[in-house]
Structure formats: structure tokens, C-alpha cells
Amino acid sequence: MRYYSTRNRSERATLKEAVLRGLAPDGGLYMPHSFPVLSPDFIGSLQSRSFQENTLTVATAFFGEDLDEQVLRQMVESTITFDAPLVPLSENLYALELFHGPTAAFKDFGARFMSRMLGHFAESESRLITILAATSGDTGSAVANGFLGVPGTRVVVLYPSGKVSDIQEKQFTTLGENIIALEVEGSFDDCQRMVKEAFQHRELNGRMVLTSANSINLARLLPQTFYYFHALAQLPAGSRPMVSVPSGNFGNLTAGLIARKMGLPIGHFVAATNVNDIVPRYLQTGAYLPRASAATISNAMDVGDPSNFARMQDLFQSSPDDMKSLITGCTFSDDETKAAMLQVYQRHGYVMDPHGAVGYLGALGHANAGHPIIFLETAHPAKFKETVEQILKVEVPVPNTLQHFLRRKKQTIRLKPDFGALYETLVSESLAH
Ligand SMILES: *Cc1c(COP(=O)(O)O)cnc(C)c1O
């Protein structure tokens, strides 16, 4: 399979090039030249196979030309080691729980698969691969845990000091080995700017292989199609659900659109956001107007210029109206989100995290008699323990996978919020494993 850039359709990058570069050299995002379509037989019999088996078929459709069967099987089997159960809340309303992985957020799927793929490419690369990630919380933990101990790679995570939750911070600052946590004395925007500068720095990129682990990277995006297939595998054959996706950078929703292009019968999508409503506004008005993000209780979705919007536009290039007829946008305030969390707890005894709650609200507004509605529950509520406990007035137990991080000791390097400081750290001999 070859990959083009959303800014240049004639580009033909290989899988390895696209994955190692992250962003295309012209600043565009990589897209596959064609979308493999799976057979109606396969789609009609998803229920009869395991999550791993279905995933192997989907992964082979994308990567089968470029990776050996054995290698791909190994990647799938070591990524999909936990379930993504579809939990019914009421008739025809389901939560797809994507938080049963090691860092308790859906980003585990993409980050784990990407780490195995990069680990594979590292075997034929003499130089160390440096994965650079700016995080406001969840990306850093999923990526660091995915890459922990993968030979030939090191992860450098930049995060704003004092601005991520305790449990999030512990998940990427206590690991050691090939994981380096840089505690930046600034904001998330500072971290993101420093990372961008690093990718644009010629001399630095000549000196080392630098790649991005944000959802601009194909190796993180495409594996997010896997759980959409698994969701359908848990409904009766012939179902045509609507899916509500709580969104920030829109990688998750883009993966759903891709799964549908591959033949998965999803009837409609809801793009649910917090007050950072750039995409819902676009769907309503046709104007894409990025702006500075506002802070909310669903902080992993506080994005003012969603990176995967370029891919969404690309998918509907021939007809923006098709995008509007397939995706409905909606936006919710923190107060509405809190009220939904309380209501669902009181009615169904189900504890949602603030991100999943935005997805729930999106689903609620679009109930369509006869069709199942799924909202994606993207994080375990214990990841946002204080917020959830304050709203529900109940204790939220912390799962074992998260508890063991809390007992460990944080190790970070403090940095001034400027690129020079990041540069010095990246080239420092003592940090090259
Ligand atoms: C990252 C994240 C999101 C947003 O996902 P996108 O793919 O960026 O739209 C939603 N919920 C949680 C818990 C996240 O960590």
C-alpha cells in the first residue's frame, strides 16, 4: 500500500516512510491510496470470531502487502490483549468501553499497535528512533506504556508542569528504561510548539530519526478501526448502528469513517464535542474557524484546531455535503456533561467519565427508533477521579492497572519552555540508550 499526503495526492510514500515521518514533508497528513473493502461474508460473520481474529483480517487488509503474515499476527496478538465490551445501558443504547488497556484510555489501542510496528521497522534501521510527544495527559501515558522496553526506540514526552492530573503524570514519569519525561515550565501549547520546532529543525532531523506519536501518525490512526469492527461483532448480525464519538483531534471519528469505507455498516455518526466546537460549527455553517482552546472537564478534548480534520475533509473531498449528511455535530457545556453523568448514574447505575458523557449526550439527542446507538466510552472514570467523585458523590475505585503506577516514584527532567532546552536534551549523550 502507498500513502499520499492530504496536500499532495501524487505522493507515494511507503508504509515505513509514512510511519517514520508521522507528518508528510509538505505538512499534510498521510492517507492510504485505496481503502480495502472487506467481503460481505466477513462482515456478516463478525459475531463468530474473536476480537483478535477479526482484527487480524482488518489489519491484513491494510498492512498485508507490507508486512509478513507472522509479523502482523504477532503485532495484533500483542496489541489486543484486553477486551472492548459493548455494555447495554437501556434498550438500543450501548457504551463501547475502550478503557480496559494498561493506561485506561482508548489511546492504548493505537499506541500499542504503533509501538509494535515501529519496533519492527527499528530492526532494519541502524539508528535509534526517537518518538517525540507533547501531551496534556492521555497521549503521553498511552505512548510511553506502549513503547516501554521496545528495542531501538526511545520516547520523549513533554508535558506542562502542574497541569496534568496526578494519576496521568505517574503513568509516564515513573517508567524509566527508554522513556524520558520532560517537565516543561509552561503550558501545553508551549510543549506542542517545542515539538513542532523539533520536527522542522533540519540539522536535528539529519542527526536522528524523529517521529511523532500523535494521532497524525498512520500507525496510530488505522488500528483505531479495529474496535469499530469489534463493536458490530457484539450486536446481532444485520445491525446498522449509529455511533457517537466524543472528539478532540478527531482521530477516533476518522477511524470510524475509514471502517465504514471498508464496508462496516455504520448508519450515521455523531461528532460530539465539549465547548471546543470547531467541527460541529463547520458541519453547521461550512466555515472552518480554528481558535484557541478553552479548558473543560473533558480536557483530552480541549482542542482548538483538530489535526485530523484535514483527513475528514480529504475523505469527503468530492462532496462536503456528504460529510454533513453522514455526520451530525453537537456540542455540550460542562454543566450539561455533569448533569448527564449524574442522570446516567441515577438511572442506570453506570459511572461515566466526562469524555464518555459527552459521547452519551450526543447519542441521546439522536435516538432513532429501531437502530442501536453506541457511544464510545474513551476513558475509565477513575482517570478523572476527583471530578467524577465530586459530581456523583460516590467513591470511584481505582483499577489495579492504574494503582500500581501510583506507588512508583516520579522521575523527570525540568525544562524551560524553549526549543533550545529541548534540543540540548535530545542530543545529550547521556540520554541516548
Ligand atoms: C484523546 C481523547 C479523546 C479525543 O480523541 P480524538 O481522537 O483526539 O478525537 C477523547 N477522550 C479521551 C479520554 C481521550 O484521551
pLDDT in tens, 233-268: 999 999 999 999 999 999 999 999 999 999 999 999
pLDDT in tens, 175-212: 999 999 999 999 888 898 899 899 889 999 999 999 98
Q: Considering the candidates 107, 170, 338, 385, report the single residue annotated as catalytic.
A: 107
Three-state DSSP class for residue 350: coil
**pLDDT of residue 430 exceeding 70:** no
Q: Is residue 410 flagged as an active site residue?
A: no
CATH of domain 54-105+221-392: 3.40.50.1100
139: CA distance to ligand 1 center in Å?
9
Band (pLDDT 50/70/90 cuts) for residue 146 is very high
Q: Determine the residue of 138, 218, 332, 402 to mutate for testing ligand 1's pocket, defined as the one with the most ligand atoms within 8 A of the Cβ atom.
A: 138
pLDDT in tens, 149-166: 999 999 999 999 998 888
What local confidence, expressed as pLDDT, does residue 227 receive?
A: 98
pLDDT in tens, 320-331: 799 999 999 999
Pocket around ligand 1 at a 6 A CB cut-off: 105, 107, 138, 215, 246-252, 300-301, 355, 378-379
Residue-range domain boundaries for the chain: 54-105+221-392
> Average per-residue pLDDT in the chain?
94
Q: Determine the residue of 331, 378, 380 to mutate for testing ligand 1's pocket, defined as the one with the most ligand atoms within 8 A of the Cβ atom.
A: 378
pLDDT in tens, 166-180: 888 999 999 999 999
Position in ligand 1 atom list of the atom nearest CA 245: 9
What local confidence, expressed as pLDDT, does residue 200 receive?
A: 86
Band (pLDDT 50/70/90 cuts) for residue 433 is low
**pLDDT of residue 50 exceeding 80:** yes
pLDDT in tens, 79-129: 999 999 999 999 899 999 999 999 999 999 999 999 999 999 999 888 899
Q: How many CB atoms lie within 10 A of CB 25?
A: 12
SS (H, E, C) 126-180: CCCEEEEEECCCHHHHHHHHHHCCCCCEEEEEEEECCCCCHHHHHHHHCCCCCEE
**pLDDT of residue 431 exceeding 70:** no
For residues 76 and 49, is the Cβ–Cβ distance under 8 A? no
For residues 414 and 161, is the Cβ–Cβ distance under 8 A? yes
379: CA distance to ligand 1 center in Å?
8
305: CA distance to ligand 1 center in Å?
14
**pLDDT of residue 368 exceeding 80:** no
What local confidence, expressed as pLDDT, does residue 215 receive?
A: 80
Q: How many CB atoms lie within 10 A of CB 16?
A: 16
**pLDDT of residue 379 exceeding 60:** yes
In this prediction the pTM is 0.94
Q: What share of the chain is helix, strand, coil (3-state, %, to 5)?
A: 45, 15, 35
300: CA distance to ligand 1 center in Å?
5
Question: Grid coordinates 463547520 are at which residue?
Answer: 282
